[in-house]
Structure 1
């Protein structure tokens, strides 16, 4: 529980002082509650006297009433945090997670599945707030009340106190077993829940593919497998705790029976009055109730601990370090100096002793086979991660001396696969510069050839694009992403060839928008179609993580045995490829 309380304070974040004060109030309220139950001992002792001392009896009734009122007042103060701060803790936790995700190294962020992060920010954040606001005070009550009442019973009659102490000693191993099994089980459940959430996201996004392959619904093996694993993890967690939980509860009940038996023997031997025995039994029943609940609540505590741990893991991820001595780049030349980089978990480096200079206000095209390291080059320029060896510089400034946000402030990126948010066209363009005016947004849209199709829409720039831009065509989505980059007006542009997946008509319009975007900027483009970069200032062939050729289109073609010339020849041949006629087509003289 010390570990869980530490995690609770971490989750409470800016509200940790209020949380600490609430725990103190809860401790006081629980002690007063225990004292109220303990007051039954002298009260019933007075009532069992012959004759009854009325004045003393009423005195203890007054003490009981005062304690009950005091506890009520303290519980009201305690509930102020439970009900007044729950939503604030939830909001603060999610904001802190969002800030941590923003600062998280992109390599670490890419490693985490979308469903996993959705689970952390969603369900785990809610569970953490519940633990902080409700379970924490319940834990204080479950611990404080038995401790105080046990001490009272021990003080009244040491023999009956030893019976309760023996019961606690016998039950604790079973409670510990519940805790260990629940801890392991609920961590497995939480991981299974995250995997399930991730697979559901994948399923929803890939539903057209699953339908086309007949694997939608109950026939989807990818979804069925992860849901079966989730069910198995939940069942295993419940089964592992069932037997020790039942044993702990049984021992608590047997302790009450033993207490009554021993107390009855003491009454028969005239060593204890009947009234005092009744008072002790009432007190012991209240003593046993939290112990019995504690065995059950252990599962809830461990469930919360699993959620708190996952949040803590995200909050503990350190951002990329920023070395001292960083200055604002004076120009925007990009330089790789003997860079070696390997992704986490991979033994082989993706880039090996990689050297490259991209002059300012020039266009450099990266070409080469899949997996050669082209994308890694653009990622290191945006400080996705730091190389293990060598240096990446912008304007002679080592990127390790600049924070990732500072680096990205100078860079605009246009991906081949465009991601638009389920918002308006205006809002999606404005991501490039949130403080942009409507006039600036429209100017960027005109430059990217967006305005022409937006003008035909009934709501214009206030038209919603749908989830991931599903209401728009591929060319329209790509033009919006280019408008976003134009609006950002960054001196460096990274392009993952934005026209590769477009039809011919869309390609022409998008290429015009790209030409306006890259004018006068330092540009690095990953080229899939060599015909789109024949005019590049330099073409760099990347193969096996190294630069194997560098030059203009004409210079590289001059080396007939070079990789670039072979790629160019292969792509020219692919242009003239066509489907052979079918047998039916051959009979009619027509190809299908």
Structure 2
């Protein structure tokens, strides 16, 4: 319970003080409830006395009424948190998760599957809020009421109390088994749910490809294995705890029978009155009911614990540290100084001893084979991660002294794979500057060669682009992303081969848009087509995580045996490739 309580306090966030107060109220209400049940013992004793002790009976009826009234008031205050704060806790938890995801290092974010994070922010956050608002108070009641009633029975007759103590000790191993099996089972269910969610997202997005390859439908090999695994995990979690729950409930019920038997023996020996025995048996039933229910509810508590753990796991991810002394860069040159970098979970170094400078208002191209480290270099420039050793500077400042959000205000990034949100063209362009005027948005669109095709659409800038921009062509999506970058007007521009996947006509239009974007900026471009960067101020050849060559296009071609010259020759040869005119059978 300490572990779950700690997770609850973490998930409660800003509402932790109200949650703590509610738990105290719940404990008080449980004590009052137990006291009300205990009041039946002297009440029945007064009524069973010969003659009836009327005065004592009315006294205990009054006490019982007072206790019930106090419990009702406390329960109303307890319920206020459940009904007034449940949705607030849910909202606050999701907002905190959103802030954590926003500040999470990109390397850590990329490690987590989209479906997994969807489950955490969706179902797990809801379950965590439910656990905080409702299950926590239920747990307090299920534990506190039997404990108090057990003490009352022990005080009344130690022999009867001993029966309850022994029964409780006998039931605990079964309850622990339920906890252990349910905890492991529901963790597996959560992982299976996350995997299924992620694969469903992939299935929907990749449906055209799956149809084309005959892999769509009920027996899709991309979807069915994870759904089968999910079903198996759910069934296993339900089955695993069934026997311990039944055993725990059986022990509790047998305890009531044993209590009645022992009590009957004491009555026959004239060491206990019949009225007291009846009162004790009624009290024991109230003792047994919460314990029996607790054995069943343990599965739900462990399900909550699994959800709380997943929410807590995300909330505990720390953002990239910001060293003291943060200031604004005065210029926008970039420098790498002996940078080494290895991705988390990998033993092979991605970058080793990378050292170069990008002068302000210049164009630097990164070229080299796939997997050589080019994209990693640009990610480190944007501080999506920090190197294990070495320093990266912007305007002379170590980027580790800059908050990632502040750093990214100075950088525009145009990716090869454009992501547009299912919103209007206007909203997607204005993403970089939500306060931009209509005139500024249109000016950026004109500069990026967006305005002409938008002007032909029925709703113009209010046209929705579809999920991930599916209603537009690749070239149109890329031009919108460039318009977004133009509107941002950042002094540093990073381009990850923005024309690689475009046809020749689209490439020309997009290249014209890029020319307007990079004018007067510090530009770093990843290039696969060397013909697009022959005019770069410097070209860095990246191979095996190192800078193996640097210079202008002419200087690098002069080294006939160098990597760049070989790449240039290979691309020239590829231009002459063509399909055979006649296909021989």
TM-score by length of structure 1 reads: 0.97
Alpha-carbon displacement from aligned partner over 1:272-314 (angstroms, at most 9, x marks no partner): 1211111111111000011011111111111111111111111
3-state SS, counterpart of residue 270 of structure 1: coil
**What's the CA shift string for 1:325-355, capped at 9, x where partnerless?**
3321111111111111111111111111111
Could you give the per-residue CA deviations for residues 426-448 of structure 1, whole angstroms, max 9, x where no partner exists? 11111111221222111111111
State the shift of 1:582 in Å. Answer: 3.4
SS class of match (1:221): coil
Task: Tell me, in whole angstroms, the C-alpha distance in 2 between the residues paired with 1:97 and 1:351.
Answer: 32
Alpha-carbon contact 1:534-1:553 (below 8 Å) kept: yes
* Matching of residue 465 in structure 1 with residue 465 in structure 2: yes
Match of 1:504 in 2: 504
- Residue 62 of structure 1 deviates from its aligned partner by 2.0
Correspondence for 1:403:
403
1:296-335 matches, within 5 Å, as 296-335=296-335
Deviations 1:259-280 (A, max 9, x none): 1111111222222121111111
Instruction: Tell me if structure 2 keeps the 8 A contact 1:338–1:391.
Output: yes
1:579 aligned counterpart, secondary structure: coil
Q: For residue 583 of structure 1, report the CA deviation from its aligned partner.
A: 4.3
2:26 maps to what in 1?
Answer: 26
Matched residue, 1:9? 9
- Say yes or no: does 1:294 pair with 2:328: no
Moved more, 31-40 or 127-136: 31-40
3-state DSSP class of the match of 1:140? helix
Alpha-carbon distance in 1 for matches of 2:446, 2:277: 89
Secondary structure (helix, strand or coil) at the match of 1:550 reads: strand
Specify the alignment match of 1:589 in structure 2: none
> 1:515-534 CA distances to partner (integer Å, 9 max, x unpaired)?
00000000000001111111
Residue of structure 2 in register with 1:361 after alignment: 361
Deviation at 1:581, TM superposition (A): 2.6
Partner of 1:166: 166
SS at match of 2:241: helix
* Counterpart-to-counterpart distance in 2, 1:13 and 1:553: 56
Q: Where do 1:27-426 residues align within 5 Å?
A: 27-426=27-426
The separation in 1 between residues aligned to 2:358 and 2:315, in whole angstroms, is 37
Distance 2:447 2:581 in 1: 44
Distance 1:303 1:514 in 2: 52
Question: Any stretches of 5+ residues in structure 2 without a counterpart?
Answer: none
Shift of 1:396: 1.2
**Partners of 1:547 and 1:207 in 2: CA distance:** 40
Answering whether residue 445 of structure 2 is matched by residue 445 of structure 1, we say yes
- 1:359-389, CA deviations, whole angstroms, 9 ceiling, x for partnerless residues? 1101111111000110011011001111112
The residue that corresponds to 2:431 in the other structure is 431
- Distance in 2, Cα, partners of 1:73 & 1:281: 28
Please report how far the alpha carbon of residue 548 of structure 1 lies from its aligned counterpart in structure 2 after TM superposition: 1.4
Q: Which moved more, 1:208-217 or 1:519-528?
A: 208-217
Is 1:456 equivalent to 2:456 in the alignment? Answer: yes
SS of 2:218's partner is helix
Instruction: Write the distance in 2 (CA, Å) between the matches of 1:219 and 1:450.
Output: 42
CA shift for structure 1 position 222: 2.4
Could you tell me how far 1:557 is from its partner in structure 2? 1.7
Once the two structures are TM-superposed, the CA of residue 58 in structure 1 deviates from its matched residue by 2.0
Structure 1 residue matching 2:354: 3-state secondary structure: strand
CA contact (8 A) 1:420 1:468 kept: yes
Distance 2:29 2:325 in 1: 55
Which residue number in structure 2 is paired with residue 533 of structure 1? Answer: 533
2:574, 2:506 → 1: CA distance? 21
Counterpart residue number, 1:553? 553
Following TM superposition, by how much is the alpha carbon of 1:357 offset from its aligned partner in structure 2, in angstroms?
Answer: 1.0
SS of residue paired to 2:325? coil
The 1:475–1:58 alpha-carbon spacing in structure 2 relative to 1, beyond 3 Å, is same
Matches within 5 A, 1:515-534: 515-534=515-534
- The 1:510/1:3 distance shift into structure 2, 3 A limit, reads same
Distance in 1 between residues matched to 2:273 and 2:212, nearest whole Å: 82
What SS does the corresponding residue of 1:65 show, helix, strand or coil?
A: helix
Conserved 8 A contact 1:326-1:398: no
2:544 aligned partner:
544
**Unpaired segments of 5 or more residues in structure 1?**
587-592
Q: CA deviation at 1:59?
A: 2.0
Q: Equivalents in 1 of 2:144, 2:345: separation in Å?
A: 48
Report the more deviating stretch, 214-223 or 27-36: 214-223
| Residue aligned with 1:219, SS | coil
Q: For residues 387 and 474 of structure 2, what CA distance do their matches in structure 1 show?
A: 34
Once residues 83 and 327 of structure 1 are traced to their aligned partners in structure 2, the CA distance between those partners, rounded to angstroms, is 46
Q: Deviations over 1:389-414 (max 9, x none)?
A: 21111111111111111211110000
Any idea what SS the aligned residue of 2:541 has?
strand
Distance in 2 (CA, whole Å) between partners of 1:424 and 1:242 is 52
CA deviation string 1:50-69 (max 9, x = no partner): 11122221222222222222
How far is 1:118 from its partner? 0.7
Q: Deviation of residue 74 (structure 1)?
A: 1.2
The alignment's TM-score, normalised by the length of structure 2, stands at: 0.98
Structure 2 distance, partners of 1:35, 1:325, is 61
